[in-house]
Amino acid sequence: MLSLAACGGGSSQPSVTVPPPPETVSISALPCASAPCPIGAGANWQYAASATGTTNQSVTWSISPADAGTIDVSSGLYRAPNAVPSSPTVTVTATTADGSASVSTTLTIQANDPLGSVTYSVLPSCTGSIQNAACYQLTVSCPGVADLFAYLKVNNPTGTPVGTVLFGTGTGGTGLYDDPTAGGYEYGSEVITDVAGAGFNTVQVSFGGPFNPSPAQPNGWLQGPGGVRRLACRYATIADWVYHNPTIINPGVSPSESNSAPMCATGNSGGSAAIVYAAYEYGLGTNLNEFAMIEPTSGPVMTRIDQGCSAASASGTGSVCPNSSNVASMTYEPADASVIDEAYQASGASTPTPCTSAINGTAPPAGLFLSDSILYNVSNLPIAFPNMTVKLLYGDLDNSNAVPQGMTWGESITASSSSPNPFFQCLQGVEHDIPSSPVGTASGDQPIASDIISLCH
């Protein structure tokens, strides 16, 4: 309550009592423009709330129905159940500390994470090693995360294409596969030339790097906040756009073409993870049936983020190449942990550092890292990809966690009916960046090209 007394001389004036404003609370940081927001099974969302009319800004979070996932009553971190429930609409409520005010919003759980949208323009010139390409700038918009620039470098074969293949680079994918001077690979151009020579459209995906976007995007598709899984929407949305726009990817095809099938993809390290998120969490390899074949190389490195972001003494181990120098520990090295941290940080920020802190012994928010992992539903294995072929490549000199992380995923899936189990291949004398292995000795580029040519159909 607030009491006001008159000022100045003269007779005393009665005090005026003004009632305090009523308490109100509002929810911010919705994962979409308006409710109900779609969210994939097993995914998470960090809700936030603000209160007015009170000095106590804390709120208590709850959901209805009570079994429609979990929510941290204090922090507002919501995690959807691992399967779509019979009643997929969930009400999320924030209530003030004294219970006098509350506000609610709704979300809808669906089988896959929601894809975003793309707008594009043609660039006047291209960069990289391979000539005679067309390049495009894309603005990618995904639910709950900031818009991001992406770039495509497209080469078309002579005559009618037999399919389309996407190529991605490591970490946040800022490089160009055919450009070793800008985050690409020493023999990336040879991979692409061989694949194009077999009649495929080749589509290199870059989130910055040689195209010098403004503002700069040093973290590529992993630029947070939002978390790794939600940020993977950016790559998945691009792949979906490529699939549904065959006449943009190749103006020479018939206008009656409805898609770019067969569409296949390869990417190294972080690029392999982007592909697998797209195939599984975003449905391009399951119910949408857009990927016919994928070849993750040196990964996917984000199979179990919860084990990667943990102290080595508490982490699990995974399979490795026989007679190799691979390490079996799933725990990320500090440099890798900082990459995961970036997925939770705003552009230019250096906090929070949930993965680095977890490696150093600070417990992360409950369920966050498992929810953001590719294998978020560890109780429902194997994963089925009935119409998609999977080939996994590893180097026996790779001493990062990419091998055990990647093999853990491969051992957890069933691929297409024509290849009921994924193919594993360990390459002798090859390190982490497989497409940079020299031709003629321990060649990493030749298996990639030959696999795509023989399996992308």
Dump pLDDT digits (tens) for 27-77. 887 888 788 999 999 999 999 998 888 777 789 999 999 889 999 999 999
CA separation for the pair 229, 235 (Å, rounded) = 11
The string of DSSP letters for 168-209 reads E-STT--S-TT-GGGT--TTHHHHHHHHHHTTEEEEEEESSG
Distances (CA, A) of 408 to 149, 302, 378, 412: 32, 10, 11, 6
What was the pLDDT predicted at 11?
43
- pLDDT average, residue stretch 144-169: 96
d(CA 314, CA 408): 17
What mean pLDDT comes out for the span 296-317?
A: 92
Question: What per-residue confidence (pLDDT) applies to 19?
Answer: 57
* 107 close to 43: Cβ distance less than 8 angstroms: no
Contact yes or no for 242/292 (Cβ under 8 A): no
At residue 23, the pLDDT reads 74
Q: Which two tokens stand for residue 122?
A: 């043609």
Check whether the bond before 365 is cis (ω within 30° of 0): no
Q: What is the CA radius of gyration of the chain?
A: 25
Cα–Cα distance, 235 to 374 (Å, whole number):
14
Q: What is the pLDDT of residues 9-39, one digit of tens each?
A: 344 445 555 555 677 888 887 888 788 999 9
Higher pLDDT, 233 or 51: 233
- pLDDT digit string (tens) for 367-425? 999 999 999 999 999 999 999 999 999 999 999 999 999 999 999 999 988 888 889 99
Q: In this structure, which amino acid lies at residue 281? A: E
Rounded to 5 degrees, what angle do the CA atoms 319, 410, 401 make?
45
- Among 419-423, 437-441, 443-447, the least confident range: 437-441
Per-residue pLDDT tens over the stretch 105-136: 999 999 999 999 999 999 999 999 999 999 99
The whole-number average pLDDT for the span 240-252 is 97
Check: CB of residue 51 under 8 Å from CB of residue 57: yes
Rounded distance between C-alpha atoms, residue 347 and residue 208, angstroms: 14
Average pLDDT over all residues of the chain:
90
d(CA 115, CA 287): 13
Q: Which tokens is 206 given?
A: 């870059």
- How far CA 15 is from CA of 6, 19, 97, 101, in Å, comes to 7, 13, 31, 29
The amino acid at residue 57 is Q
- The full set of domains in the chain, from first to last, is 24-110 (2.60.40.1080), 117-307+369-455 (3.40.50.1820)
Q: Average pLDDT, stretch 89-110?
A: 93
| Predicted local distance difference test score (pLDDT) of residue 272 | 98
408 DSSP assignment: H
Cα 322 to Cα 194: distance, rounded to the nearest angstrom: 30
Q: How far apart are CA 94 and CA 50, in angstroms?
A: 9
Question: If you average pLDDT over residues 140-160, what whole number do you get?
Answer: 95
Is it true that the peptide bond before 215 is cis, omega within 30 degrees of 0? yes
Structure tokens at 85: 């429930």
Distance CA(385)–CA(130), nearest Å, equals 33
pLDDT above 80: residue 314 = no
Task: Find out whether 223 and 344 touch, Cβ atoms under 8 Å.
Answer: no
Distance of CA 343 to the CA centre of its chain: 9
The first and second tokens of residue 373, run together, are: 């992992």
